[in-house]
């Protein structure tokens, strides 16, 4: 356990950051899962939720939860999946 005051403060800060990072990560996974789930059934609804997924991905990249290239890849793959599904329909 932390002994010095600065170490205690750093520990408190890391716990708070852990909570926020977990929330961002959960938002990221939930929105992308929702879009992926909607693609085969309702493309219009998936397109509406794509903006929320982009927002979650960008916020996670901004805070360093995922890297910038990972965020770009995730967005590209979501958009590509929607486009492929739209061509089939």
pLDDT beyond 80 at 87 = no
Render pLDDT for 16-28 as a digit per residue (tens, 0 to 9). 999 999 999 999 9
CATH number at residue 59: 1.20.58
**Number of domains forming the structure of the chain:** 1
pLDDT at 70: 97
Query: Is 8 part of any domain?
Result: no
Any alpha helices (H) in the chain, and if so which ranges?
5-38, 43-62, 68-88
Query: Is 40 part of any domain?
Result: yes
C-beta separation of 57 from 75 below 8 A: yes
The whole domain housing 76 covers: 21-88
Render pLDDT for 28-83 as a digit per residue (tens, 0 to 9). 999 999 999 999 999 999 999 999 999 999 999 999 999 999 999 999 999 999 99
pLDDT at 24: 96
């Amino acid at each position: 356990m932390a002994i010095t005051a600065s170490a205690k403060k750093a520990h408190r800060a890391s716990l708070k950051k852990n909570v926020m990072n977990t929330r961002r990560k959960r938002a990221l996974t939930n929105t992308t899962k929702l879009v992926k789930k909607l693609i085969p059934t309702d493309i219009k609804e998936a397109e509406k939720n794509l903006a929320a997924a982009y927002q979650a991905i960008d916020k996670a990249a901004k805070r360093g939860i995922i890297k910038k290239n990972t965020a770009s890849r995730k967005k590209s793959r979501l958009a590509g999946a929607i486009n492929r599904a739209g061509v089939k329909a």
